Amino acid sequence: MSKITWKPGTMLAPVPPALISCGTVEKPNMMTAAWTGIIASDPALTYVSIRPSRYSHELISKSGEFVINLTNLPLVKAADWCGVKSGRNIDKFKEMGLTAEACSEIKAPQIKEAPVSLECKVIDVKSYGTHDMFLAEIAAVNVDDKYIDDNGKLWLEKAGLIAYVHGFYYTLGRNIGKFGFSVEKKPNKTKKPEFEKKAESPEIKFNRQSSRKCHSEQNNIFEMRKPKRLSDVRKKRGDTPKLKKFDGEIKFKKARRENEVMLSAAPKKHYGKLKTKPK
C-alpha cells in the first residue's frame, strides 16, 4: 500500500453541511456551510468561513450575528438547495417550507425544523484568501425537546444527523463506541459495557435500523441475499424439468427460407449491402 501525494486542498471529511441562518425573523436568509467548526470549549467559540460574494456574508457583516443549524435527513434537500441558490432575490425559507424562529440571545433567526441551533455573536473577522472567517462566541444552544428524555439527557443520535463527504451527503452509521471506550477496563463476560447497552436500547436500535434503511434507499444499495439459482430450487423441490425437444434447427431453417425469399425479391441495387447473395 502506498499513498499518492496531491497538491494542497480542502480534503477534510466528514464535515457538517450546516445551514447558517442570518438576517432577521422578518427578512431571513440561510446558506449552507461546510467550513465551520469549534475553536474552543470555554468560552464556547466557533467559526464559519464565507466567501465575500455570498449574500449571507453581507448580512452577517452588518448584524454580527448568525445561527449554525445542524442538519438531518429531513433537511438534506434544503442543505443542498440553499448551497446552490442565493437569497439575494429569493426567500429561501419560503421556498424550502421552513420556519424562521426567534432566538433567545440574538436577532438572527434560527431554523425551527433544525434539531439543534447554535446562536452565534461575531467577535472577529479574518480574511484568508477566498474566504472570510467569522469567529464567533456561541451565545446559546437551542435543542429540539423531542431528543431530550425525562432525565434531561440529550439523545442526539435520534436526530438522524447528516454528513458531507467529498461532494456527497450521508446519514451516519451505527454507534461503534463512546468517548474513552478504548481505555475502559475490559468488562467481565456477563456484564455488557455501558455503550453496548445503549446501542441495544430500543430507541437506538430503531434509529440504527431506520438510518440503515435510509442509507440503503439513498444509495440504492439493498441488503442482498445470496441469489437462488432456479436449478438449486428445483433440485431441493425434487422436480427436475423435462427437457423440451430442441426445435432451434427447424426455426433456423424456416428463417433462412424466408430470408432467401426476401432477398430474391429485393431490387438488385440492395444485393451489394447484403452479406448473403440470393441464389
Ligand X SMILES: Cc1cc2nc3c(=O)[nH]c(=O)nc-3n(C[C@H](O)[C@H](O)[C@H](O)COP(=O)(O)O)c2cc1C
**Chain contacts with ligand X (rule: CB under 6 A):** 17, 29, 31-35, 49-51, 54-56, 80, 83-88, 131, 164
Cell numbers placing 195: 455503550
State the nearest-atom distance from the C-beta of 77 to ligand X, in Å: 11
Residues ≥6 apart with Cβ < 8 Å to 136: 45, 46, 47, 48, 66, 120, 121, 122, 123
The residue (of 87 and 115) whose beta carbon lies closer to ligand X is 87
Residue closer to ligand X by CB (options 81, 155) is 81
Which residue's beta carbon is nearest to the bound ligand X? Answer: 83
Residue number with CB closer to ligand X (115 or 158): 115
Give the three cell numbers for residue 93: 425559507
Helix (H, G, I), strand (E, B) or coil at 228: coil
**Strands 168-171 and 36-40, sheet pairing:** unpaired
CB 142 within 8 A of CB 63: no
Nearer to ligand X, 88 or 174 (CB): 88
Give burial (CB, 10 Å; 0-12/13-18/19+) of 9. exposed
Q: How far is the CB of 71 from ligand X (least distance, A)?
A: 9
| Of 51 and 254, CB closest to ligand X | 51
Select 18 or 199, whichever has its Cβ closest to ligand X: 18
Whole-number minimum distance, CB 93 to ligand X, in Å? 11
Cα separation, 248 vs 225, in Å, equals 35
Least separation in angstroms between CB 51 and ligand X: 4
Least separation in angstroms between CB 132 and ligand X? 9
Q: CA-CA distance, 8 to 56, in Å (whole number)? A: 27
C-alpha cell at 19: 445551514
CB of 29 to ligand X, least distance (A): 5
Asked whether 36 and 68 are in contact (CB, 8 A), the reply is yes
